[in-house]
Amino acid sequence: MTMPTPEASAAAAARIDVLEGPEAIAAIVGRVAEHGGRIRTVATIRQLATDPPQSELEIEVDGLTADELLDALDDLPDIQAIRRTRALGSIFGKRVIVVGGGAQVAQVALGAVSEADRHNLRGERISVDTIPLIGEANIAAAVRAVADLPRARLLVLAGSIMGGDISNAADELRAVGIPIIALNMVGSITEHVDLVVSDPVQAGTMAVMAIADTATFDLIRQRGRRY
């Protein structure tokens, strides 16, 4: 039912300094819609210590060129400054997310970064994003939140024992179309993922291969296997 969102390299993007207030973003989004653009992202990236208060937004829009986007926003009163940027998908690309215990996360990252290097050399854009966490509730919440991360394509669960609500969260994440590779470990999680790999460096490598267009690794054909 789900498919990856295109990598956004064609989206027009800008960084905007805007006066704080509930109406400012609504005015920007409304103006983009009037001009036939489709908002892909509006994100508050930081607040400025100005008087009156301003914040910086990052905006990405489909269906308008960069010039058309700047024209559309030209005379909005709350906008203090605007500059062209590049859509984040064209810079940071597809994301492998690694969650779990620090020792294993670091080893998975080693494999994944090394493999991403090889594919990015050939023109891909693959990022490896990690967070070390402890505890069933924290890890389960992070697994669920991967579904809300832009450009997340695959999750690696790197630890020594996981189960319970983490396994429920894994089922939910796979249901929205994001596959999971887990290290071989204690607990029920290994029954709720697409692939189980014992060596963390190889797990990271396979994770990148699974989402790289320049690799021939097909995770669907490996589903349920253990290495």
Shortest Å, Cβ 54 to a second copy: 10
Shortest Å, Cβ 68 to a second copy: 13
State the DSSP H helix or E strand holding residue 19, giving kind and residue range, or none if neither.
Answer: strand 12-19
Name the token pair of 154.
């695959």
- With vertex at residue 197, the alpha carbon angle to CA 222 and CA 124, rounded to the nearest 5 degrees, is 70
Which of 21/187 has CB closer to a second copy?
21
Backbone angles phi, psi at 209, to 5 degrees: -55, -35
Which of 60/194 has CB closer to a second copy?
60
Shortest Å, Cβ 198 to a second copy: 20
Shortest Å, Cβ 226 to a second copy: 25
Which of 134/224 has CB closer to a second copy?
134
Kindly compute the dihedral angle of the four CA atoms of residues 46, 49, 55, 58, in this order, to the nearest 10 degrees: -40
Cα-based distances in Å from 139 to 93, 115, 136, 159, 191: 24, 25, 5, 10, 17
